[in-house]
């Protein structure tokens, strides 16, 4: 089951891992079926948003590049998880090869990071639009928004590549059972029988760079936005301006709260494996399904585009 996979034959890598999924949970298969249904709905809702933005010329703006980017992340994240979950748990294919596990780990965490920083891009757009309305079109140009998105993809890919490379230095000489729905970073490196302290440090770096810093930027951006709204003389103007932020604030709440519980609180409080799995599934399945609904219903331009069609 184990193979030597190092130039100096010091690292022991398993041929396969076993993904346990929900542990002794009644009606678990119904949970997996619900994941599949949510995946279908997620695909439909996010593709609808992307196509709508593509065909409506008045939505061809930096703001809606950011919205379509979030929709793309919401397509890719569940695609990296749910099809494999369905294959594993509905067809009893719990084993995954070492290489496939590392690939799965990279793409799940990569698209989760992209989803997180997509909310930062939208916060940036709101910040410029409300705090610098006269300079908005010169600051937040079409090409600049695309450059920001490309830079973020490269940065996330680089950080998570380092994370995966650190996994390859671990030896797995005992259990290879991953208590998760997928090859999650934390449950995997904790199985190692050699020193995984660098992996622990990398986990905290990832949480800081891809969760804490984005959230801090969003919070500070809304402090600035709040001061800008208070300077608006009319109550109607303040209400109208704040209304443009509601959809994004809801997305931030449902996007970051499950991640905070999963990746922060679990480092200080002992959670049952099933609770971590259920919480992770919310981020993977429910959040990407809800995001396009909220943004469509709470955004006047998109509702107008739907009504015109």
pLDDT tens string, the chain, 309 residues long: the values are 555 444 445 678 999 999 987 766 667 778 888 888 999 999 999 999 999 999 988 888 898 999 999 999 999 999 999 988 888 777 788 899 999 999 999 999 999 999 999 999 999 999 999 999 999 999 999 899 999 999 999 999 999 999 999 999 999 988 899 988 899 998 899 999 998 999 999 999 998 999 889 999 999 999 999 999 999 888 888 888 888 888 888 888 888 877 776 666 665 666 666 777 777 787 888 889 988 888 776 777 777 777 776
Coil, helix or strand for 97? strand
Residue 5 has a pLDDT of 45
Sign of the dihedral defined by the CA atoms of residues 132, 255, 59, 61, in that order: positive
Sign of the dihedral defined by the CA atoms of residues 150, 155, 156, 157, in that order: positive
Q: Which residues contact 118 (CB under 8 A, 6 or more apart)?
A: 66, 69, 70, 73
Rounded-to-5 percentages of helix, strand, coil across the chain: 75, 5, 20
Distance of CA 224 to the CA centre of its chain: 25
- Using alpha carbons only, how large is the chain's radius of gyration in Å? 21
Q: Find the angle CA(269)-CA(271)-CA(273) to the nearest 5 degrees.
A: 150
Q: Which residues pair with 13 in a beta bridge?
A: 3
Residue 4 has a pLDDT of 46
Pull the structure tokens for residue 29. Answer: 């298969």
d(CA 3, CA 127): 53
Residue 262 has a pLDDT of 66
Pull the structure tokens for residue 274. Answer: 């099933």
**Residue holding tokens 């609770």?**
275
Q: Find the angle CA(270)-CA(271)-CA(273) to the nearest 5 degrees.
A: 130
Q: Find the angle CA(255)-CA(257)-CA(258) to the nearest 5 degrees.
A: 80
d(CA 125, CA 62): 8
Q: Which residues contact 150 (CB under 8 A, 6 or more apart)?
A: none
Residue 13 has a pLDDT of 92
d(CA 52, CA 250): 21
Distance of CA 12 to the CA centre of its chain: 31
Q: Which residues contact 285 (CB under 8 A, 6 or more apart)?
A: 35, 38, 39, 42, 78, 81, 82
Strands 16-19 vs 177-178: parallel, antiparallel or unpaired: parallel
Residue 75 has a CB neighbour count (10 Å cut-off) of: 20
Coil, helix or strand for 176? coil
Residue 94 has a pLDDT of 87
Residue 59 has a pLDDT of 86
Residue 281 has a pLDDT of 80
d(CA 76, CA 190): 27
Domains and CATH numbers, the chain: 13-308 (1.20.1070.10)
Residue 47 has a pLDDT of 95
Coil, helix or strand for 8? coil
């Amino acid at each position: 089951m184990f193979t030597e996979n190092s130039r100096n034959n010091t690292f022991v890598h398993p041929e396969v891992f076993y993904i346990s999924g929900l542990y002794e949970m009644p009606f678990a298969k119904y949970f997996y079926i619900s994941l599949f249904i949510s995946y279908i709905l997620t695909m439909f809702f996010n593709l609808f948003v992307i196509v709508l933005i593509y065909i409506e010329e008045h939505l061809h703006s930096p703001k809606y590049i950011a919205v379509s980017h979030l929709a793309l992340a919401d397509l890719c994240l569940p695609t990296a998880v749910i099809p494999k979950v369905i294959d594993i748990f509905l067809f009893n294919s719990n084993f995954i090869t070492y290489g496939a596990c590392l690939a799965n780990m990279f793409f799940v965490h990569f698209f989760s990071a992209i989803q997180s920083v997509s909310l930062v891009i939208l916060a940036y757009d709101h910040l410029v639009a409300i705090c610098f309305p006269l300079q908005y079109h010169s600051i937040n140009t079409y090409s600049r928004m695309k450059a920001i998105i490309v830079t973020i993809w490269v940065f996330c890919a680089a950080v998570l590549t380092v994370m995966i490379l650190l996994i390859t230095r671990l030896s797995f000489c005992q259990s290879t059972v991953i208590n998760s729905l997928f090859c999650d970073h934390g449950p995997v490196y904790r199985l190692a029988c050699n020193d995984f302290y660098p992996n622990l440090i990398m986990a905290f770096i990832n949480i800081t760079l891809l969760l804490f810093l984005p959230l801090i930027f969003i919070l500070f951006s809304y402090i600035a936005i709040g001061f800008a709204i208070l300077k608006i003389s009319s109550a109607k103007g303040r209400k109208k301006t704040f209304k443009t932020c509601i959809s994004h604030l809801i997305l931030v709440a449902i996007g970051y709260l499950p991640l905070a519980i999963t990746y922060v609180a679990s480092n200080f409080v002992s959670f049952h494996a099933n609770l971590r799995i259920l919480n992770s599934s919310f981020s993977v399945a429910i959040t990407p399904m809800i995001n396009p609904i909220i943004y469509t219903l709470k955004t006047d331009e998109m509702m107008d585009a739907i009504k015109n069609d």
